[in-house]
Structure 1
Amino acid sequence: MNKYLIIAMATMVAAAIVHATDTKRPNIVFIFADDMGYGDVQCLNPKRGKIPTPHLDKLASEGMIFTDAHTSSSVCTPSRYGLLTGRYNWRTHLQKGVIFGFSPALIDAKRLTVASLLKQQGYTTACIGKWHLGMTLPTTNGVLPKTRVPKKLNVVWDGRITDGPTAVGFDYFWGISASLDMAPCLYIENDHFIGDLPPQDGKSSTTKSFKIDQVLPHIGKQSAAYIKASKPDTPFFLYASLTSPHTPIRPTAEWIGKSGISKYADFQMQTDHVIGVIIDAIDSAGLRDNTLVIVSSDNGCSKAAKIPEMEAKGHFPSAQFRGSKSDLWEGGHRMPFIVRWPKVVEAGSQSDQTVCLTDFMATCAEIVEAQLPSNAAEDSVSFLPALKDKPIVSTRKGVIHHSISGHFSYRMGKWKLLLAKGSGGWTAPKEKDVGADSPKAQLYDLEADPGETNNLYKSKPEVVEQLLEQLTADIERGRSTDGPKASNDVSKVVLWKR
């Protein structure tokens, strides 16, 4: 064969290999912190943040910071539902609060999730860490315990668990059923409790071998091991759901006192370290360039962190924003949102476009070029264009926020309408503490007033009317994006909670 023909053919083959590599679907890793405020990341809060977060700061320098990213709720379970389904939590029966460690599944087994979507596209999928979306634990009488820490238990500890992560698209699950301040405190692998099991005494829901302060580092190690074991020819989706810096605030011994601020600050430093462990595993495996990494949080900093004491030392966990976990104000749901994908995202970039965690599903669908069915991801809009420094194309008019007590707010452009007199959550003033003569709602111009201090509800009735009309439509249509009318899981969603 002519040597020039051989060279040409070799060049074509090499080009084809490069093209195949360029178009290979990315691995996707979503790291979800628990109760980490916007201001708890140093690079997001340089003037009012005192907690060192070198790994998060490095990740931001290598990728993109979103400055206007939000959870669908200001508390845990609802935010996780929104993230994994692309649908607002209050479309389910969960109209306020959270579920517990023994609660039944919140995600319907027939509903498409990010995991099941990606699994259909050839991905392997894993959830490692905190679930907190319910599952059916084996019991002696088929009735699940209902409280946070039941006094009497009927759980069969060596029985099979159903309706958990592996029922909604995850090939593998290792972690715990809910928060560490809720029973049971035991590890689960796929559909069974593992390790030492409690006696069938009707009282115990943990064992002496389960160490609360070791859960966070174990999540880091398990996540790193999963990444290391991944196959180069099969893309994976890892949902690494951390248990920190949520209560109980239990940093391991080597982190206690590191911050010089508080135990919560120490725990946030350890959280940053564990995020670094997961990122290092990606890079060490040679997967850096074509792995989409997103780090965010399920809601703002909790009052259990003793926020006033930290503020006295110069650390403001909500940065310049008002409120914290549970609230309708920005501190409750405006979250850190850092994205690294070297193949696509420009290092050191920033996006000020408004996104919601419900948008993760539509984004994944666009990345893998999958068509979402009309009965899925009803509140999801792809932010893939933003990763390429382009405007997000959205049929959704605005973003709906929800507080722990079920109060609503609506964000459209610079305007934000809160259907509450106070925070809608734990921050003063609470609803019961606001005077009867106060406006029944709040309206803020977030461009001029990001701290939500100047209520324009009475002076801008035309804006109030516009936002309220759109909010009502988004609720009643069962979706906030274009598509056929859908149904909420409840017959009526109560708009005004008073």
Structure 2
Amino acid sequence: MYPSYRTITLLLFLFTVILNAQEKPNVIVVLVDDLGLGDVSYYRKLHSDNIIVETPALDALAENGTVFTNAHAPAALCAPSRYAIMTGNHCYRSDAPWGVWGSYEKSPIKENQLTLAKLMKQAGYHTAFFGKWHIGGDFLRKDDPKTIYRGPRNKPELDVDIRKIVGGGPRYHGFDYALSFQAGIQDVPYAIYENSIFKPIAKNSKITFITQAKMDKIGVKLDKAEGLGDSHWNPTHMGRLLIYTAKNYIEENANKDKPFFMYYSALAVHLPHTPTDELNGMKIAGTTPSKHLDLVKELDVQIQMLINTLKEQGIYDDTIIMLTSDNGGLLRKNTLKSGHQPSDIYRGGKNQAYEGGNRVPFIISWNNHLKHQLNGSPVLGLDIMATLADLTQIDLPDDQALDSSSFLPMLKNETEVLNRTIYSQSGTSKEVMLIKDNFKLIMQVDKTDLSNNTQLPIALFDLKNNPTETEEGNLILNKEYQSKMKELSTLYHTTRKSGRPTASRFLNN
């Protein structure tokens, strides 16, 4: 019996789908925790010969692709940035615009909201998440298993059942596979979750209360509150566990019909600074001037391990790697004492409104596809969404990723400069920033105004002539620049209050 016309048509269609899937590159997005611009020796060498810690793997990525030199995190603090990067929306569109600081808080990502994972699934990718989530989640109460636990942060959490994430985690936002740490290694629960289920660290692991006294026995200082976790919790080993699980995933998913999208959310280089003794045959702990810089080195080795695995599987040329940070670098005493400059030439660091707070590394590498270039266009971490949509030829809905602009044309050298205004924010001090045509306005948000709509201008810098934001160059009281200050403050206020999109696809229509 000969196959019917309908059968032949179906077979041709399925063959085309499989062929197209194979032609799509794998994508790895690496989001590093607290990595400053000056922590990457490639960036530091652009301004200084004084290199305290080399990062050869990160440098090799930079030398093999596009290096953005005017890249910004959406916020100077990790949680709000993570929401923005995952959704392509500015932090202020979130129900928690200043961040979701507790693992037991409701995720600001709505069920109907597009995420990077949902986008890539739509494009035919298998999606996987590895590492720090920090965008909220749902756990059940112990005393009432039908009720979601919600509790104040920095208070011992005893009534929460941490055995399973029942909502709000990576598996609920489009990831097919997830090995997640709800708050990285910095906060409760001190546990690992595989596909939302508590994953014991050891065969005899049990859920217990992690105290500072217990951590003292293994030389670890908790960064945040005591709380529930795995009885074998030791942050020193978590980076190793994370990278080897990611390696296994690549090995298992290389050269399959479906390309893969990996979101590698590194645990380094956030506190507590607990570097591993050795990784991939290289000694880590105690090899740099500070434990903080040991973790920078550990991160670099992890990146080399990812690259080596791609090469071993024969898919390095078929994989795009995008690497950036969730905020600026850490200003740690021992690190600074060594001469290392985490923020490179820029003022301030993590949590601050100055450029050091949200100027970040941003590297795009695709071997044998992208030429090496330095690009000074202003870009944001949340631009990853529109760029991936552009790459996979997916049309973004008009109600999604409102602030994400594609930088794919710049990677293809079709255009050299992306003309855009940068909207960002600091951290706990609640300042907002706007950069337009090299002028940067910093405004203090009135903390008593829950709408966040009351903002007082406190600084104005001309970044072209004063990139380091010296106070001598603060133009806020300069009469010649009052109209510029008013122009920028009005632009920020009206844009935020109106809710209008800021992405280039809206502005160009």
Q: Report the TM range for the smaller structure's normalisation.
A: 0.7 to 0.9
Matches within 5 A, 1:54-69: 54-69=56-71
Shift of 1:38: 0.5
Measured in 2, the distance between the counterparts of 1:384 and 1:440 equals 34
TM-score by length of 1: 0.84
Shift of 1:225: 1.0
Name the structure 1 match of 2:6. Answer: none
The total of aligned residue pairs comes to: 446
Q: Deviations over 1:402-423 (max 9, x none)?
A: 11132111011211111149xx
Q: Deviations over 1:385-434 (max 9, x none)?
A: 1112233686x84110111132111011211111149xx9xxxxxxxxxx
Q: Is the 8 A contact 1:39 1:49 kept in 2?
A: no
Q: 1:357 aligns with which of 381, 394, 415?
A: 381
Distance 1:412 1:440, change over 3 A: closer
Q: 1:295 aligns with which of 304, 320, 323?
A: 323
Name the structure 1 match of 2:172. Answer: 167
Measured in 1, the distance between the counterparts of 2:390 and 2:40 equals 29
SS at match of 2:271: coil
Q: Is the 8 A contact 1:128 1:223 kept in 2?
A: yes
Name the structure 1 match of 2:302. Answer: 274
* Letter matched to residue 243 of structure 2: G
Name the structure 2 match of 1:183. Answer: 188
Matches within 5 A, 1:39-438: 39-46=38-45, 47=48, 48-140=50-142, 141=144, 142-159=147-164, 161-195=166-200, 196-198=205-207, 205-232=228-255, 233-254=257-278, 255-259=284-288, 261-303=289-331, 305-306=332-333, 309-346=334-371, 348-391=372-415, 397-404=420-427, 405-420=429-444
* Letter matched to residue 481 of structure 1: A
Q: Deviations over 1:13-40 (max 9, x none)?
A: xxx99xx689922111011110111100
Distance 1:419 1:149, change over 3 A: closer
Distance 1:234 1:392, change over 3 A: farther
Measured in 1, the distance between the counterparts of 2:164 and 2:300 equals 36
Q: Deviations over 1:334-370 (max 9, x none)?
A: 1011110124310x32111110011110001100111
* Letter matched to residue 450 of structure 1: P
Distance 1:153 1:417, change over 3 A: same
Measured in 1, the distance between the counterparts of 2:151 and 2:434 equals 32
Matched, 1:475 2:496: yes
Q: 1:451 aligns with which of 435, 451, 468?
A: 468
List 4+ stretches of structure 1 deviating above 4 A: 20-23, 199-204, 482-485
Distance 1:465 1:131, change over 3 A: same
Q: Is the 8 A contact 1:245 1:268 kept in 2?
A: yes
Matched, 1:38 2:22: no
Tell me which protein shows more strand as a share of its residues: 2
Gaps of 5+ in 1: 1-15, 425-438, 486-498
* Letter matched to residue 179 of structure 1: G
Measured in 1, the distance between the counterparts of 2:231 and 2:313 equals 35
Q: Is the 8 A contact 2:61 2:365 kept in 1?
A: yes
Q: Is the 8 A contact 1:382 1:392 kept in 2?
A: no
TM-score by length of 2: 0.82
Measured in 1, the distance between the counterparts of 2:235 and 2:298 equals 14
Q: 1:466 aligns with which of 481, 487, 494?
A: 487
Q: Deviations over 1:50-75 (max 9, x none)?
A: 11111111111111211011111000
* Letter matched to residue 361 of structure 2: P
Q: Is the 8 A contact 1:34 1:243 kept in 2?
A: yes
Residues 316-325 or 458-467, more deviating: 458-467
Q: Deviations over 1:234-289 (max 9, x none)?
A: 11110000111100000012422211x11111111111111211122222211111
Q: Is the 8 A contact 2:206 2:231 kept in 1?
A: no
Q: RMSD across aligned C-alpha pairs, in angstroms?
A: 2.6
Residues 77-86 or 172-181, more deviating: 172-181
Identity of aligned residues (%): 30
* Letter matched to residue 89 of structure 1: C
